[in-house]
């Protein structure tokens, strides 16, 4: 059996925003058949960069569906920037299988949080142009 990373791997999570991310893996048996009904545990680092699941939990276990997919909804990064891995384990009949999902928590700069001056100027010009076009259209009637 093996664990395939489907959604969430390599994510860059902005720490200053209310980010929620889904994490999805697929468990495959021999020859690519789905691993149905397999318990899969997602575990976050105990300290440093990382995050939490619902109810501030550091790990959560879900069961694969009929197609072998296991999804955790609502992962939140913590406020510590840096790289880390979410450890994933599946309780397979032949023994535990493991994978790691890389993540990065990144600080968001003030420039990224607020619209830039160029965006404000463009918006003002666009509104002025639309107003002028509307007045010209009305004057022509």
Pair 56, 73 in one domain: yes
CATH number for position 103: 2.60.40.10
- Helix, coil or strand: residue 16: coil
- For residue range 90-135, list pLDDT tens digits in order: 998 888 999 999 999 998 765 554 555 555 555 555 545 555 544 5
Which structural domain, as residue segments, surrounds residue 135?
Answer: 109-141
Q: Same structural domain for residues 94 and 116? A: no
Entry pTM: 0.74
Q: Dig out the tokens for 22 from the structure.
A: 């889904």
87 and 129 housed in the same domain: no
Rounded to 5 degrees, φ, ψ at 139 are -70, -30
Domain match, 83 and 138 both:
no
Kindly state whether residues 22 and 87 are assigned to the same domain.
yes
Number of folded domains in the chain?
2
CA pair distance 20, 59, nearest whole angstrom: 16
Contact (CB, 8 A) for 63 and 72: no
pLDDT in tens, 40-75: 999 999 999 999 998 899 999 999 999 999 999 989
Same domain, 113 and 103: no
Confidence of residue 139 (pLDDT cuts 50, 70, 90): low
Query: Rounded to an integer, what distance in angstroms lies between the CA atom of residue 14 and that of residue 39?
Result: 30
User: How far apart are alpha carbons 93 and 35 in whole angstroms?
Assistant: 10
Structure tokens at 62: 């879900």
Most distant pair of Cα atoms in the chain: their distance = 80
According to the model, what pLDDT value does residue 136 have? 46
Residues 103 and 36 in one domain: yes
């Amino acid at each position: 059996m093996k664990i395939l990373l489907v959604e969430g791997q390599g994510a860059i999570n902005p720490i200053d925003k209310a980010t929620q991310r889904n994490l999805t893996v697929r468990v495959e048996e021999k020859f690519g058949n789905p691993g149905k009904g397999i318990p899969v545990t997602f575990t976050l680092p105990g300290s440093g960069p990382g995050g939490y699941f619902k109810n501030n939990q550091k790990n959560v276990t879900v069961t694969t569906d009929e197609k072998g997919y296991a999804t955790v909804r609502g992962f939140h990064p913590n406020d510590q920037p840096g790289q880390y891995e979410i450890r994933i384990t599946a309780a397979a009949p032949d023994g535990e299988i493991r994978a790691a999902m890389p993540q990065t928590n990144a600080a968001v700069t003030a420039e990224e949080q607020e619209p830039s001056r160029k965006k404000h100027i463009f918006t003002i010009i666009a509104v002025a142009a639309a107003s002028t076009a509307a007045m010209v259209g009305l004057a022509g009637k």
